[in-house]
Structure 1
Amino acid sequence: MNRVKMLLVEDDAALVELLSWHFARENFDVATTPDGEEALLLAQEKVPDIVLLDWMVENLSGIEVCRRLRRMPATANIPIIMLTARGEEEDRVRGLETGADDYVTKPFSPRELIARVGAVLRRVRPALAGEMLSFADVEMDTVGHKVRRSGAPISLGPTEFRLLRHLLEHPGWVFSRERLLDSVWGQDSEIELRTVDVHIRRLRKAINAGGRPDIIRTVRSAGYSLDADAA
């Protein structure tokens, strides 16, 4: 898979360093700037595959940068995710109406943002999202329906495969049994909540074979989460 070109427009130096490191690990080529006007120049010089854009940046607001990116033919269709501390509904609506594809309110975890970026790429630019999902030492080929852990093949049933895929697409997120039923099985009233527990046990047995660490965390009274620290 080719590296995804990302433009990160953010004036918080510590956050820039943190996000650059995390996205570089996920095979992103990250260009950064704290300046809205420079962001427009960078976007024209080397058209990115996705833009992370803070609402409040130097010289030109994130909203105006978003508006101008949408007006330029070369960047009109680039996915844009707004990053901001402004959580009011009116601000979110304004950002989306200006052309943003998604909106993430600070504070957020890098893993949450990586998952949101992946979701936007799959929706807007599916060719860039690739066919592979990975977390820790688990890799999934979503097209070939193959799963490996530390390079060794893992055999999964269809439901366990869908369940693992959903968790891989949202690492670190805690999903209730109800949410998992809706997302993996669909809204089927015939399926009981304890069915989720049965398939989680089957999934754990398969991916943890050979004494491997358990990366599925059970969150009491909440649900399940993919977490490298679960073990």
Structure 2
Amino acid sequence: MIAASPTHLTRNRKQTVLIVDNDTALAEAIATTLDIDGLQTIVSHSGEEALALARAFHPDLILLDVMLPERSGIEVCATLKTDPSTSSIPVIFVTAKAEESDRLVGLAAGADEYITKPFSPTELLLVVNEILSGRSEQFSGFRRRGAKIADLAGVADDQLVVFAHEWKELFERERRERWALEEAHQRLGELDRLKAAFLSAVTHELMTPFASIGITLQVLKQGREQLLPDQQEALDNLSDEITNLHRLVNGVVKFAELVNKRREPQPQFVALRDIIPQALQPVLMMARSRGIEFEIVLPVDLPGVYADPDLLSEAIFQMAHNAVKFNVPGGHVWLEPTNPKGWVVIQVRDTG
């Protein structure tokens, strides 16, 4: 391998390959592979330098990366092919882009072949040797197709350079957008981690007090018979309110876990005639304490459903709880599941 400095380059009988890639490690690896195969190599990391080296030393082949700083590989190739002093030098595009549109752009710019990253040393040597062995031909098959595309499009030499420049801008815009998307993805990942940490902390802080409150209530209930009637009623009301509050907090935690994908639904067959009364039990006590009549209509032929029983029970509870909570004193609530057209619909109506 020879450094990319004109003062250190000398001509010899070895075939010379100019490697143009801004990835230093990859360029060195390609150069080593070609050196071992008996080729002389020149390495460049920018489009402008590559153009200068190509004009000064007329290499037998140019391996050209599409994504280059300052001037894209497409633009460099178009410039090489419109310059009489370099137009006959075969060009192989080396790129990570493998879309058909990218191949057509390379063809139109005058490339002789296309190799897509990642590639093996064997694949690289095969393509390079095929191009070098056919150097005496005016056009390789790939280049003839490129010339045909350019001719069919009616693209003049100066238009081709402009066309390549526009593609460079598109490549750069795509790269900026990709970086922006990656940065946004990283921010979203960080937000997810923060939400998970917050949810864990809130769950602990909200649920822990209920354990001590529950123990205290159990102790008080053991001496319930020794309390006055008013005190017994107050204890019962306190127990009901604590139960409702615990159910409400637990529902919020479950919903947050579901939204943040910390809990996956566990669907199974659920008998609605069993789960609805269980879900409504705390709501019915709340309705009685507020003088609200709660009517439940369960059809005899009510089918079961395939759902997560905990989440379904929570949904039924929340609907009924809201109907009672925001109702008027002495109001009315109706809950009736129906089965229209194979679906199960649970309707809740109220006078609130």
Which TM bucket (shorter chain)? Answer: 0.5 to 0.7
Give the equivalent residue in structure 1 for 2:27: 16
Q: Does 1:25 align with 2:25?
A: no
Which residue, out of 57, 67, 74, partners 1:56? Answer: 67
Give the equivalent residue in structure 2 for 1:87: 98
TM-score normalised by structure 2 residue count: 0.35
Query: Taking CA–CA contacts closer than 8 Å with sequence separation of 6 or more, which of the two structures ends up with the larger relative contact order?
Result: 1
Query: How many Å separate the matches in 2 of 1:55 and 1:108?
Result: 15
Instruction: Kindly indicate which of the two structures has a greater share of residues assigned to helix.
Output: 2
Query: How many Å separate the matches in 2 of 1:23 and 1:66?
Result: 21
Mapping 1:121-200, distance limit 5 Å = 121-125=132-136
Which residue, out of 79, 87, 101, partners 1:68? Answer: 79
Query: How many Å separate the matches in 2 of 1:71 and 1:5?
Result: 21
Q: Does 1:47 align with 2:78?
A: no
Query: How many Å separate the matches in 1 of 2:33 and 2:89?
Result: 21
Instruction: Kindly indicate which of the two structures has a greater share of residues assigned to strand.
Output: 1
Q: Which amino acid aligns with 1:21?
A: T
Give the equivalent residue in structure 1 for 2:322: none
Give the equivalent residue in structure 1 for 2:112: 101
| Per-residue deviation, residues 37-91 of structure 1 (Å, max 9, x unmatched) | 1100111111111000000012110000000000111111111000001100010
Which residue, out of 71, 81, 88, partners 1:77? Answer: 88
Q: CA deviation at 1:111?
A: 1.5
Q: Which amino acid aligns with 2:83?
A: M
Q: Describe the SS at the equivalent of 2:134.
A: helix
Query: How many Å separate the matches in 2 of 1:26 and 1:71?
Result: 31
Query: How many Å separate the matches in 2 of 1:125 and 1:13?
Result: 31
Query: How many Å separate the matches in 1 of 2:20 and 2:110?
Result: 16
Give the equivalent residue in structure 2 for 1:5: 16
The gaps in structure 1 that reach 5 residues or longer are 127-231
| Per-residue deviation, residues 173-212 of structure 1 (Å, max 9, x unmatched) | xxxxxxxxxxxxxxxxxxxxxxxxxxxxxxxxxxxxxxxx
Query: How many Å separate the matches in 2 of 1:103 and 1:114?
Result: 13
Give the equivalent residue in structure 2 for 1:208: none
Q: Which amino acid aligns with 2:61?
A: I
The gaps in structure 2 that reach 5 residues or longer are 1-11, 138-352
Give the equivalent residue in structure 1 for 2:123: 112
Report the aligned-residue RMSD: 1.4
Give the equivalent residue in structure 1 for 2:159: none
Query: How many Å separate the matches in 1 of 2:62 and 2:46?
Result: 13
Query: How many Å separate the matches in 1 of 2:69 and 2:14?
Result: 28
Q: Describe the SS at the equivalent of 2:88.
A: coil
Query: How many Å separate the matches in 2 of 1:87 and 1:22?
Result: 23
Q: Describe the SS at the equivalent of 2:85.
A: coil
Q: Does 1:35 align with 2:46?
A: yes
Q: CA deviation at 1:8?
A: 0.4
- Equivalenced residue count is 126
Q: Describe the SS at the equivalent of 1:63.
A: helix
